[in-house]
């Protein structure tokens, strides 16, 4: 039995007042999950301290949406893995398509961030996924292979025992256009098979999330697919009722 996870990605949303209301509703409304299920919120850096205060001793974990590939030093504006540890983070998202596309993060930089996060004891949530153009050109699998290869080359296939992968087709993120459960399953299976070719046991135990317009009304069918082990949730993670419904579907 694999671990399952539903993680919210708040992106650049929130303020102290709204966060407190949202987290209060999540604490009250999310039942304690079974032992193999985890819930988490990945929040903007400035809110980590207050999120830590609010969520410690609850069954909701928290994490960051990015981190520096460097350990420390003269890197103005960057946030290190050790700093995230100071605020009790369990997870760090790496390689979100918005980071890759809007901030020029290459697969090599993403791999470095993944490795730095793991060295600090954080669980990286590694995002991979194709654009619509790439899907239409029938190169989805090559794109995902290249994104995964960079990480496996740098950190080794065994690093996947302490990581989560999120398949997020770029065309489905924030668009309201979800991959069908079968489209998502096909890519999840492709990812798992590719890793199984290197290590069967690691592939079998790897948590692979789907992300891209997951909502309360489509999460049940997505999570029912055999290789989908939960979700990375953007917009719907900002609405307590919706996020609770999605968490309850895993």
Q: 119 or 131: whose CB is closer to ligand PEP?
A: 131
Q: In sequence order, which residues have a C-beta less than 8 Å from that of residue 201 and are 6 or more positions away?
A: none
Q: How far is the CB of 50 from ligand PEP (least distance, A)?
A: 21
Q: How far is the CB of 168 from ligand PEP (least distance, A)?
A: 5
CB 196 within 8 A of CB 218: no
Among 63, 95, 129, 212, binds ligand PEP (CB under 6 A): 212
- Helix (H) / strand (E) containing 42: strand 37-42
Among 116, 203, 225, 233, binds ligand PEP (CB under 6 A): 233
- The set of catalytic residues is 96, 168
Among 4, 5, 9, 118, binds ligand PEP (CB under 6 A): 9
Separation between Cα atoms, residue 108 and residue 180, nearest integer Å: 30
Lookup: tokens for 200: 């069967």
Q: 35 or 243: whose CB is closer to ligand PEP?
A: 243
Neighbours of 170 (CB within 10 A): 21
CB 141 within 8 A of CB 190: yes
Residues 117-176 that bind ligand PEP (CB under 6 A): 168, 173-174
CB 232 within 8 A of CB 166: yes
The answer to whether residue 94 forms part of the interface with ligand PEP (CB under 6 A) is no
Chain residues in the site for ligand PEP (CB under 6 A): 9, 11, 168, 173-174, 211-214, 232-236
């Amino acid at each position: 039995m694999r671990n399952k996870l539903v993680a919210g990605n708040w992106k650049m949303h929130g303020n102290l007042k709204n966060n407190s209301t949202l987290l209060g509703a999540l604490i009250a409304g999310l039942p304690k999950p079974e032992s193999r299920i985890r819930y988490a919120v990945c929040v903007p850096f400035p809110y980590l301290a207050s999120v830590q205060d609010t969520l410690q001793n609850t069954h909701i974990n928290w994490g960051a949406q990015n981190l520096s590939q460097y350990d420390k030093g003269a890197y103005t504006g960057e946030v290190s893995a050790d700093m995230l540890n100071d605020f009790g983070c369990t997870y760090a998202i790496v390689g979100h398509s918005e980071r890759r596309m809007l901030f020029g993060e290459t697969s090599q930089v993403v791999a470095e961030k993944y490795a730095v996060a793991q060295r600090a004891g954080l669980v990286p949530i590694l995002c991979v996924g194709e654009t619509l153009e790439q899907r239409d050109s029938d190169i989805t699998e090559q794109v995902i292979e290249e994104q995964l290869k960079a990480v496996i080359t740098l950190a080794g296939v065994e690093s996947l025992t302490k990581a989560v992968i999120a398949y997020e087709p770029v065309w489905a993120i924030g668009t309201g256009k979800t991959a069908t459960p079968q489209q998502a399953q096909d890519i999840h299976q492709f990812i798992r098979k590719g890793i199984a070719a290197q290590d069967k046991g690691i592939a079998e135990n790897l948590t692979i999330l789907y992300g891209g317009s997951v909502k309360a009304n489509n999460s049940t069918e997505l999570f029912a697919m055999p290789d989908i082990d939960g979700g990375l949730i953007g917009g719907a993670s900002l609405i307590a009722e919706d996020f609770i419904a999605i968490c309850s579907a895993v």
